[in-house]
Amino acid sequence: MPEGHEELSDDEKHLASLGYTQELNRSWSSFSNFAISFSIISILAGCFTSFGLGWNNGGPAAIAWGWPIVSAFILVIGLCMSELVSAYPTSGGIYWWAAKLGGPKAGYYTGWLNLVGLIAILASVAYGSATFLDLTLGTFSESWLAGYSLTRTFIIFLVILVIVATINIFSSHLLAVINNVSVWWHVVGAAAVIVILWALPAQHASLSTVFTTTVNNTGFFGGSTSGITFLLFVLPMSAILTQYTITGYDASAHLSEETKGAAHGAAKGIWRSIFYSAIGGWILLLTFLFAVQDVDGVTAGGGAVATIFSQALDSKWAGVVLLISTAGQLFCTTACQTSASRMLFAFSRDRAVPGHQLWSKVNAGRVPANAVIVTAAIAAIITLPALVEVDINGAPVPIAFFAVVSIGVVGLYLCFAVPIYYRWKAGDAFPVGKWNLRGHHKWMAPVALVEIIVTSIIAMFPTSIGGAPWDPSFEWKFVNYTPLLVGGVLILLFVYWHVSVKKWFTGPIKQVTTVAEELDLT
Encode pLDDT of 261-286 as tens digits.
888 889 999 999 999 999 999 999 99
pLDDT in tens, 355-377: 888 888 887 777 889 999 999 99
Q: Are 298 and 55 in contact (CB under 8 A)?
A: yes
Model pTM score: 0.88
The predicted structure's pLDDT at residue 513: 56
Consecutive H or E run containing 37:
helix 30-41
Map residue 362 onto helix, strand or coil.
Answer: coil
Instruction: Choose among 310, 331, 292: nearest CA to 61.
Output: 292
Q: Which pLDDT score is estimated for 281?
A: 96
Q: How far apart are CA 143 and CA 146, in angstroms?
A: 8
Query: What share of residues in the chain are helix, strand, coil (percent, to 5)?
Result: 70, 0, 25
Angle between helices 104-140 and 315-349 (to 10 degrees): 160
If one counts every other C-beta atom within 10 angstroms of the C-beta of residue 6, the result is: 7
Which residues have a Cβ under 8 Å from the Cβ of 195 and sit 6 or more positions away? Answer: none
Tell me what the mean pLDDT of segment 398-412 comes to: 83
Give the sign of the dihedral formed by CA 470, CA 473, CA 476, CA 480.
Answer: negative
DSSP 9: P
Average pLDDT value for residue range 209-214 = 97
Measure the CA–CA gap between 216 and 103, rounded to whole angstroms: 45
* 294 CA to centre of own chain: 31
- Residue 519 in this model has a pLDDT that exceeds 70: no
Asked if residues 70 and 454 have their Cβ atoms less than 8 Å apart, the reply is no
The pLDDT, as a whole number, for residue 1 is 42
381, with CB counted inside 10 A (0-12, 13-18, 19+), is exposed
* Residue ranges per structural domain of the chain: 25-213+220-509
> In the prediction, which pLDDT does 30 show?
85
One-letter amino acid of 124 = S
Alpha helices in 200-312 (DSSP H): 207-212, 228-229, 239-245, 251-254, 262-290, 295-300, 305-312
CB-CB contact of 455 with 243 (8 Å): yes
What is the architecture of the domain spanning 25-213+220-509? Up-down Bundle (1.20)
Report the residue count for the chain.
522
Residues 227-251 pLDDT 10s: 999 999 999 999 999 999 999 888 8
Alpha helices by DSSP H, listed for 44-103, are 46-49, 51-56, 59-87, 94-102
* Selection from 511, 433, 519, 518 nearest residue 19 by Cα: 511
Q: Confidence class of residue 4 from pLDDT cuts 50, 70 and 90? A: very low
For residue 521, the model assigns a pLDDT of 37
Alpha-carbon gap, residue 416 to 93, rounded angstroms: 10
Residue 6 pLDDT exceeds 70: no
Give the end-to-end CA distance of the chain in Å, rounded to a whole number. Answer: 11
Helices (H), ranges, 88-171: 94-102, 104-140, 150-170
Please name the amino acid found at residue 501: V
Q: Which tens digit of pLDDT belongs to each residue from 113-172?
A: 989 998 999 999 999 999 999 989 888 877 676 666 788 889 999 999 999 999 999 866
Dihedral in degrees, nearest 10, Cα atoms 185, 331, 325, 273: -70
Alpha carbon distances (Å) from 140 to 75, 150, 319, 323, 368: 38, 19, 6, 10, 38
Helix (H, G, I), strand (E, B) or coil at 92: coil
